[in-house]
Structure 1
Amino acid sequence: MNAPHDRRPASAGEDDDQYSATVLGSQWIQRPGPDEPGATLVDTTPLSPAAPTVLRFGPGVTAALTHGLPAGVAAPRPPERPRRGPRRHALPALVLIAAVLFVLWRQGPVVPLSVREVTVTAERGTVGCGETAVVAAVVHTNGRSGTLTYRWVRNDGTSSGVLRTDVENGQRSTRLRLLWSFEGEGRYSAVARLRILSPGSGTADVRFFYDCPLSPDPARP
């Protein structure tokens, strides 16, 4: 009976007494390779039809999920999200700009309120004893909105304080009024003057008469 041959792999030195063996599973068999007979290990584990290969798509797929892909098949790339740039806001912005330009075009250039002409008239040329004179003024403007500031001045030495009135857009004339009361006997030449303080400056006046005859003296024969 022949003695069994020692099949331990050759080590780097003849003096090595110990070596470690690698335990292979039963599914691995040794097949001869083209250059080194008996040096190729092949996995013979059959593929289970109940465990199909799962391919996952989308963001977050790691290399571990695509480990089971067949050789030569590249892992699918996640679909690219559409880029939201400034173009999606371009059309609404253009529509808004066009609307603003249209409104400005309809309104025309922004022009402040200005006074073009001032006229003052008296309701009556002569008022009698104890009556009140009505003086009216018309201020013609350019039709823009704003505030008129003015003052009435009388030739008897009195004047009003600074008065104000608002003018609406599209309003081209504004009416102002002064009431001047008289009493006593005599005849008086009255002058009422309107002074525009803003915008700009201007004046206009009117003359009328107060006439209250003297009562007869009962002591005269």
Structure 2
Amino acid sequence: MLLGSARDHRPGRRERRFPPADPRPTVRDLVNDDYSATELGSHWFQRPEPDPAPDRREGEVLRFGPGVTAAAARRAGNTPTAVQIWHGTLPGTPPPRPPRPRRLRRYAPAALILAAVLVFLAWREYGPRAAVRDVAVTAPGSPLGCDGTADVVGVVRTDGRPGTLTYHWERSDGTRSAPLRETLARGQEEARLHLLWTFHGPGAHRAVARLVITSPATRTAEGTFTYRCG
């Protein structure tokens, strides 16, 4: 009686063969069964050593390392802040436009009118002075009688600007008046200046009255008349 394995020996079917086992030991064979996964990892992989604790001095902690470098400080200084973004003061951006002075625009017409009035008043007061165009003297045509008073009139024509005339009278008897002034209003183109000359006693005299304008320009004119008494 033959004893054998119960293998199927059908005709025409190939027998499957397996490769021989590797005689070298595996990692599982080298590690004990009581190793855990954590212990295996820590056993085979080297952990980084912890940093040494810094020395301590009287309330101060010494820190090691590069700290904040100059490049990092420059980058932090060049980074725009929220305040710069809110106010629009980022470097390299144009400054914000100033608000329009609406209140000044409201009062601009009134200010212009007031300025024009002030300029006009200043020009009338301190502008160009009156210019003298002509000076003439009119004396009595008929002889003056005893103890009579002659009214000699000087006529000064101007350009109508306001100003002041400064003048005096000179008489043929060697006397002269004090400096006199005549104010000219705007639009006044003529000024009449009077000299009252009185004579006493008998005799005959040919009188000459001279008008001298000293300001704004020097001008002269004279008139003659006759006094007869007796």
CA distance in 1, matches of 2:156, 2:185: 13
Could you tell me whether the CA contact under 8 Å between 2:140 and 2:225 is conserved in 1? Answer: no
Give the Cα separation in 2 of the matches to 1:98 and 1:164.
35
How far the C-alpha of 1:96 sits from its partner, in A, is 3.1
Stretches of structure 2 that go unaligned for 5 or more consecutive residues are: 1-97
Which letter does structure 1 place at the counterpart of 2:154? Answer: A
Give percent identity, aligned residues only: 43
Residue of structure 1 aligned with 2:215, choices 193, 198, 201 = 198
Higher helix proportion (structure 1 or 2): 2
2:107 equivalent in structure 1: 92
Find the aligned partners of 1:180 and 1:102 in 2 and give their Cα distance.
46
Greater radius of gyration (CA):
2
CA distance in 2, matches of 1:136, 1:155: 16
Contact map agreement 1:120 1:138 (CA 8 A) in 2: yes
Is 1:182 matched with 2:195?
A: no
Query: Partner of 1:133 in structure 2?
Result: 150
* Structure 2 residue 169 is matched with structure 1 residue 169: no
**Aligned partners of 1:152 and 1:193 also within 8 Å:** yes
Decide which of 101, 116, 137 is 1:120's aligned counterpart.
Answer: 137
- State which of 146, 154, 170 in structure 2 corresponds to 1:153: 170
Partner of 1:39: none
The answer for unaligned runs of 5 or more in structure 1 is: 1-82, 214-221
- Taking structure 1 as the reference length, the TM-score comes to 0.52
Letter in structure 2 aligned against 1:169: R
Displacement of 1:211 in angstroms is 1.1
TM-score, normalised via structure 2 length: 0.50
> How has the CA–CA distance of structure 1 residues 165 and 102 changed in structure 2, closer, same or farther, with 3 Å as cutoff?
closer
Q: What is the Cα deviation at residue 212 of structure 1?
A: 1.4
1:146-184 C-alpha deviation (Å, 9 max, x unpaired): 111100000110000101121111111111100111112
Instruction: Supply the distance in 2 between the matched residues of 1:171 and 1:103 (Cα, whole angstroms).
Output: 23
TM-superposed deviation, 1:210: 0.6
Q: The residue matched to 2:186 in structure 1 has which SS?
A: coil
The Cα of 1:87 is off from its aligned counterpart by: 3.2
RMSD: 2.8
Change in CA separation of 1:84 and 1:125 when aligned onto 2, cut-off 3 Å: farther
How many residue pairs get aligned? The number is 131
1:45-81 deviation per Cα after TM superposition (whole angstroms, max 9, x unaligned):
xxxxxxxxxxxxxxxxxxxxxxxxxxxxxxxxxxxxx
The residue type paired with residue 112 of structure 1 is R
| 8 Å Cα contact 1:124-1:133 kept in structure 2 | no
Q: Deviations over 1:20-53 (max 9, x none)?
A: xxxxxxxxxxxxxxxxxxxxxxxxxxxxxxxxxx
Q: Answer yes or no: is the 8 Å Cα contact 1:149–1:165 preserved in 2.
A: yes
Task: Kindly state the Cα deviation for residue 187 of structure 1 after the two structures are TM-superposed.
Answer: 1.2
- Partner SS state of residue 103, structure 2: helix
**For residue 111 of structure 1, what is the aligned residue in structure 2?**
128
Q: Give the match's secondary structure for 1:126.
A: coil
2:161 paired with 1:144: yes
